[in-house]
């Protein structure tokens, strides 16, 4: 366990008051989504402890937070229970935001142990620490993969669910375990089910992949599947706003929300066109590997029903196409600044 920087209470001059907000643990906070979440939590006056093993996360994503006295970064693998427990011993958390995961569906299909460990078991270890140290709020980032293949719009009251991919299975299993802890041990929980998430600092996914491929070869783009895969996308800053809105306004003991543009999606071929446009590339030859899904375990088409979230009073500012275009621009700028 490596503490890159210890600030917070330890770094604050004697007599200076603690910040007015909460003390929050973000597991997987140096990743794409986690780092945007931390930006918002710090801006709202909270103290944040970010734990990340940097296997998928990157300190580049949180460099700009390191001088903030309300921010602590701990490099640790939460699958090592003693390291995780020490973090809970050293801080009194009000809430935990859980983002650790195996980031890609297809890696889990090759090796389901990735999802069993990083998606499921790590959640259990966090829950056990919360129970032992009396931490009462968990916000969990789930996945569209929990729905498996569905012909109808995916809604929270659908079931029984039997996902295809190990990622989906283990996210759903983690949700189920969290629900049990909520019912038995008084841990209030909010399960967030976003679709694909896109925006600056992305480390995988279709926009990232297409930019990389077109940077390497600006004449040709190989697209997995038939290009007709059609999914909703949420812009990462919309997602964070939505998550914090849900956390504030949904007050059941166990809360479960889809969080996405309503009944809206974009095809992979259209994403390819947008990325090529934003990179000022003309006459790119699109080549398709064929087949309906991009990889085994892929769910090629789906839409989200987010009427529950609309009723709570929130919707994202960008639809799927706007999210992809904004993400492409941000990603290109980010790569330029960090090249």
Q: How many whole angstroms separate alpha carbon 89 and alpha carbon 81?
A: 12
CA nearest 313: which of 240, 259, 263?
259
* Shortest CB 248 distance to a copy of itself, Å: 23
| Alpha-carbon gap, residue 168 to 172, rounded angstroms | 6
User: If binding is defined by CB under 8 A, does position 166 make contact with a copy of itself?
Assistant: yes
**Which positions from 268 to 307 touch a copy of itself by CB under 8 A, shown as an x/- string?**
----------------------------xx----------
Pick from 255, 117, 86: which is nearest to 178 by CA?
255
- Residue 164 near a copy of itself by CB under 8 A: yes
Taking the C-alpha atoms of residue 104 and residue 146, their distance in angstroms, rounded to an integer, is 14
Please tell me whether residue 79 binds a copy of itself under the rule CB under 8 A.
Answer: no
Nearer to a copy of itself, 179 or 241 (CB): 179
Q: Which is nearer to a copy of itself, 208 or 257 (CB)?
A: 257
**Window 101 to 130, contacts with a copy of itself (CB under 8 A):** 109, 112-113, 116, 120-121, 124, 127-128
**Count H helices, E strands: the chain?**
11, 14
Query: What is the closest distance, in whole angstroms, from the C-beta atom of residue 174 to a copy of itself in the complex?
Result: 8
End-to-end distance of the chain based on CA atoms, in angstroms?
Answer: 29
Give the nearer residue to a copy of itself in terms of CB position, either 109 or 234. Answer: 109
> What does residue 274 show for φ and ψ, rounded to 5 degrees?
-65, -45
CB of 3 to a copy of itself, least distance (A): 28
Q: Where would I find the H helices in 64-152?
A: 81-90, 105-110, 113-114, 122-132
- Shortest Cβ 206–a copy of itself spacing (Å): 22
Bond prior to 278 in cis (omega within 30° of 0): no
Residues 128 and 82: their CA atoms lie apart, in Å, by: 12
With CA atoms as reference, report the closest residue to 8 among 66, 87, 78, 62. 66
Stretch that binds a copy of itself, among 13-21, 44-52, 85-93, 163-171 (CB under 8 A): 163-171
- 159 lines the binding site for a copy of itself (CB under 8 A): yes
Q: Does 157 bind a copy of itself (CB under 8 A)?
A: yes
165 binds a copy of itself (CB under 8 A): yes
Q: Please, what is the angle between helix 206-216 and helix 268-278, to 10°? A: 50
Q: What is the largest CA-CA distance in the chain?
A: 65
- For a copy of itself, give the closer residue by CB, 59 or 307: 307
State in angstroms the smallest separation of the CB of 176 from a copy of itself. 5
Window 232 to 271, contacts with a copy of itself (CB under 8 A): 254
Does the footprint of a copy of itself cover residue 181 (CB under 8 A)?
Answer: yes
By CB under 8 A, name the binding residues for a copy of itself: 109, 112-113, 116, 120-121, 124, 127-128, 156-166, 168-170, 172-173, 176-177, 179-181, 183-184, 254, 296-297
């Amino acid at each position: 366990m490596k503490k890159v920087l210890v600030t917070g209470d330890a770094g604050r001059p004697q007599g200076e008051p603690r910040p007015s907000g909460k003390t929050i643990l973000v597991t997987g906070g140096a990743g794409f989504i986690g780092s945007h979440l931390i930006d918002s939590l710090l801006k709202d006056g909270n103290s944040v402890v970010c734990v990340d093993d940097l296997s998928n996360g990157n300190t580049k994503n949180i460099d700009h937070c390191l001088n903030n006295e309300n921010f602590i970064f701990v490099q640790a693998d939460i699958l090592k229970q003693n390291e995780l427990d020490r973090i809970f011993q050293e801080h009194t958390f009000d809430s935990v935001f859980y983002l650790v995961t195996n980031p890609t569906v297809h890696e889990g299909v090759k090796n389901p142990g990735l999802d069993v460990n990083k998606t499921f078991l790590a959640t259990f270890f966090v829950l056990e620490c919360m129970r032992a140290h009396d931490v009462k709020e968990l916000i969990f980032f789930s996945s569209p993969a929990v729905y498996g293949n569905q012909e109808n719009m995916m809604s929270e009251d659908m079931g029984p669910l039997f996902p295809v991919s190990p990622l989906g299975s283990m996210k759903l299993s983690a949700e189920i375990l969290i629900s049990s802890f909520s019912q038995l041990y008084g841990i209030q929980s909010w399960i967030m089910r976003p679709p694909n998430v896109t925006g600056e600092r992305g480390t995988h996914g279709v926009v990232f992949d297409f930019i990389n491929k077109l940077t390497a070869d600006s004449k040709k783009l190989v697209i997995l599947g038939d290009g007709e895969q059609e999914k909703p996308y949420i812009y990462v800053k919309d997602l964070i706003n939505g998550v914090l809105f849900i956390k504030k306004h949904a007050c059941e003991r166990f809360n479960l929300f889809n969080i996405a543009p309503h009944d809206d999606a974009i095809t992979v071929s259209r994403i390819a066109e947008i990325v090529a446009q934003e990179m000022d590339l003309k006459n790119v030859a699109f080549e398709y590997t064929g087949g309906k899904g991009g990889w085994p375990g892929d769910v090629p088409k789906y839409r989200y029903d987010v009427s529950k979230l609309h009723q709570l009073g929130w919707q994202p500012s960008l639809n799927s196409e706007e999210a992809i275009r904004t993400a492409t621009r941000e990603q290109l700028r980010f790569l330029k600044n960090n090249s």
